[in-house]
Amino acid sequence: MNETMNLLIGLAMGLNLMALGSSRLPSVVRAMAVQGVVLGCLPVIIERNFDWLVSFVALVTVLVKGFAIPTLLQRAMRSANIDREIEPFIGYVPSLLLGAVGTIASVAAARMLPLLPEHAETLIVPGAMASIFTGFVLLVGRVKAISQVCGYLIMENGIYLFGLLLIHSTPFLVESGILLDLTVGVFIIGIIVDRIQRAFDSLDTRKLTTLRE
Amino acid sequence: MNGLLLIFVPLGGAAISAFWPSERTRPLLLPAVGVIHTVLSFWLLAFPPPIQLGAWMGYDPIARAVLPAVSLLFLSCAVYAVSYLRLRSERPNRVFVTALLAILGLLSAGHQARHLGLLWITTEAVTLAAVPLLHFNNTPRAFEATWKYLLIGGTGIALSLLGSFCLGYASLRGGGSGDLTFAALSAQGAALSRPWVLIAWVLLLVGYGTKMGLAPMHTWKPDAYGEAPGIVGAILAGGVTTVAFTAILRIRAVVDSAGAGAVASRTLLAIGLFSMLVAALLLLATRDFKRMLAYSSVEHMGILVIGASFGAVGVWAALFHVWSNGLTKGALFLSAGNIRRAAGGRTVDEVRGMSVVTPYSAAILVIGMFAVTACPPFGPFFSELRVLKAAIGTGHWAAAAMFLVALLFVFFGLSRIVFGIVDGRPRVAASAGSIGGMRVRETLGVILPPVVLLGLSLWIGVATPALLRDAWSAAVAQLFPTP
């Protein structure tokens, strides 16, 4: 079981690097979506016995993260007529290097954390830290609203992955509440992105500089 | 009758408002729900319902010590909103009214949450429900503010989720069940895995601190408060921030029981003093009177966490300050909203002579300014005095000195701007006082609520009711259980 899980988490960590290194927005969105699907499948693998509730939550997660949110973002991209990040604050090669260093550092840091024996041999904690770090780099280093949303979602993916450590103890209600909030949040972000596009005729967040001291 | 009514009455009101057919009568739902909520919250304060220890929700002493203040603030804002939405009848109000009521319900849920996951869900939901309120004015500036609010607030709230998971893992690693109720976590106490508790504390402090608007995570605050209607600023500054503050108090109690209370107090003191100093310096620089209120809010959040760092006496003072700050800040936001509408400008360069154009609102703003900068005999003076006494009583002389210096700078900053817009001869455009060519009249509906809030602030300052004192003492007893 651990091998399959580690394989999937490794794949998610690779997708982090793909999101960091790509200049085309659709591929960043795709990396984020595939990562969401990969991570959404994990609970079914961790839970050895088939459980309706867990499968249902996994299915909803996959549908929301893999299909609903990417469709929303693609629509926003089409209406804004952009598909490429130009002049990011942190270039592609530096962010890729940052991502690689971050991934190695998170594997090293996870060894130092006191983990339960059954978690110490999985990639859950390093994978989570790497995704959170990647999300931060995208949030800070990119200027297009869509890339920042992707960064936010990749960070959420990392936190979700960390939450899997508690899968046997957090009640179902809490997980579904978190998923619901996340979904609503992204829809609201989508609406605001759309309004910003109309108000500023651009999704370049560098134009959002009227408000400062 | 129990605390759940406090949640479901406003949420029911929100549902009704979403389907209410008439634009003209819909805002009346706000004071209606506000009255029920206020009566309920004080009724339950006087006659507390029983609470099961392991319950996920409960109107426990901490909720009782804070939530009635939010109720009062909401009620005043609701009365104001009826007049305000009539003035702004060009904007549809369905979403606005629904979101305000939803926020009240979710705030009540957040204050009563005794489960870390539930607390996170409600805080996130409040954050999201506030979004339509922020861009009510529908200007590009409002969207810019909303975007920053969403990204910064979203990141903060994501970090607090990570922190919640870390605290859960601290329990698992310590041999517990990973139960995320505060009661279970505190009961596990020293058995919690210390490294994970510390990681969780940092993440949760940053996360909920972002929601509170502590420096350096405060950057969304001036934008959001500056661009949103005054009433939204009042509810964000006096209501939404309190939910994050009680979250920090509850989490601190868990960290304390795990034996890391000293670390927690030190970080709270440092971040609180930093917030006060940053706010004081920015207040000396800003020229916008609505952003001024945001920085003042950052300063008061700093005072709250400074209070919380001084043990039981300090937490008592901080709970007092939640009331005095919320009520006074409400009066300031509402009167500043009146002035902003009449003046048509927002900076000291554009606006002056408001004592002629809007004499009542200008008077409230000036009195409120003195109140919020801790001039006696208003509430903030007494609560800040108690924070100061707690600082000196616990031997934090340097912190007390920095606290006073920051207060002095804040007074300079606030009085400079307030007198700048109130004094002098009004500009021609402003004296015509026009929204669509109509002269702005200061109706009773937009004057009475801030006056009442100021009156309440005065009242809890000079004659703090025994009911409230007991409520704060009970909350302190819950946070610092004597073994």
Rg (CA), chain A: 17
**Contact assignment for A196 to B144 by CB distance below 8 Å:** yes
Residue A188 has pLDDT above 80, yes or no: no
Report pLDDT digits (tens) over B12-38. 999 999 999 988 899 999 999 999 999
Rg (CA), chain B: 21
Please calculate the CA angle A167-A173-A179 and round it to the nearest 5 degrees.
80
Chain B residue closest in CA terms to A202 = B140
In 3D, which of B235, B38, B6, B34 has the Cα closest to residue B136?
B235
Report pLDDT digits (tens) over B344-353. 888 888 888 8
Residue B1 has pLDDT above 70, yes or no: no
Measured CA to CA, the distance from residue A65 to residue A98 in angstroms comes to: 25
| Higher per-residue pLDDT: B276 or A2 | B276
| Higher per-residue pLDDT: B10 or B433 | B10
| Confidence tier at A213 by pLDDT (50, 70, 90) | low
Of B154, B161, B168, nearest to A169 by CB-CB distance is B168
pLDDT given at position B434: 47
Residue B382 has pLDDT above 50, yes or no: yes
At residue B405, what are phi and psi to the nearest 5 degrees?
Answer: -60, -45
Report pLDDT digits (tens) over A33-50. 999 999 888 888 887 777
Of B150, B162, B223, nearest to A192 by CB-CB distance is B150
Q: What residue segments make up the domains of chain A, in order of their start?
A: 2-209
| Higher per-residue pLDDT: B270 or B440 | B270
Q: Which residues in B lie closer than 8 A to residue A114 (C-beta atoms)?
A: 173, 193, 195-196
Q: Which residues in A lie closer than 8 A to residue B124 (C-beta atoms)?
A: 181, 185
DSSP per position, A55-123: HHHHHHHHHIIIIIHHHHHHHHHHHHT--B--S-SS-HHHHHHHHHHHHHHHHHHHHHS---HHHHTSS
Please check whether residue B413 is in contact with residue B372, taking contact to mean a CB–CB distance below 8 angstroms: no
The residue assigned the tokens 């500089």 is A209
Q: What is the mean pLDDT of residues B251-256?
A: 94
Interface test with B, best of A122, A166, A194 (most B CBs within 10 A): A166
Residue A86, SS3 per DSSP: coil
- Which of B54-58, B295-299, B428-432: highest mean pLDDT? B295-299
Residue A208 has pLDDT above 80, yes or no: no
| Confidence tier at B244 by pLDDT (50, 70, 90) | very high
Q: What is the mean pLDDT of residues B241-269?
A: 93
Measured CA to CA, the distance from residue B452 to residue B327 in angstroms comes to: 9
Report pLDDT digits (tens) over A90-139. 888 899 999 999 999 999 999 888 888 888 888 999 999 999 999 999 98
In 3D, which of B176, B412, B374, B144 has the Cα closest to residue B292?
B412
Q: Which residues in A lie closer than 8 A to residue B144 (C-beta atoms)?
A: 196, 208, 210-211
| Confidence tier at B409 by pLDDT (50, 70, 90) | very high
Chain A residue closest in CA terms to B178 = A169
Q: At what angle do helices B397-422 and B359-372 cross, to 10 degrees?
A: 170
Residue A145 has pLDDT above 60, yes or no: yes
- CA terminus-to-terminus distance, chain A: 54
| Confidence tier at B310 by pLDDT (50, 70, 90) | very high
| Confidence tier at B483 by pLDDT (50, 70, 90) | low
Interface test with A, best of B114, B120, B166, B169 (most A CBs within 10 A): B169
Q: Which residues in A lie closer than 8 A to residue B295 (C-beta atoms)?
A: none
Report pLDDT digits (tens) over B424-442. 887 755 444 444 444 567 8
Q: Residue B152 half-sphere exposure, CB side, CA atoms within 13 Å?
A: 23
Residue A212 has pLDDT above 80, yes or no: no
How much of chain B exceeds pLDDT 70, in percent? 97
Burial track B40-70 (b if 16+ CB lie within 10 A, e otherwise)? bbbebbeebeebeeeebbbbbbbbbbbbbbb
Please identify among residues 56-95 of chain A the ones whose CB lies closer than 8 Å to any CB of chain B: none
Measured CA to CA, the distance from residue B483 to residue B473 in angstroms comes to: 17
Q: Chain B: nearest CA to A21, how far in angstroms?
A: 22
Residue B57, SS3 per DSSP: strand
How much of chain B exceeds pLDDT 90, in percent? 65
Cβ count near A84 (within 10 Å) = 11
Measured CA to CA, the distance from residue B99 to residue B130 in angstroms comes to: 7
Q: What is the mean pLDDT of residues B149-164?
A: 90
Q: What is the mean pLDDT of residues A156-182?
A: 78
Q: What is the mean pLDDT of residues B174-189?
A: 87
Chain B residue closest in CA terms to A175 = B117
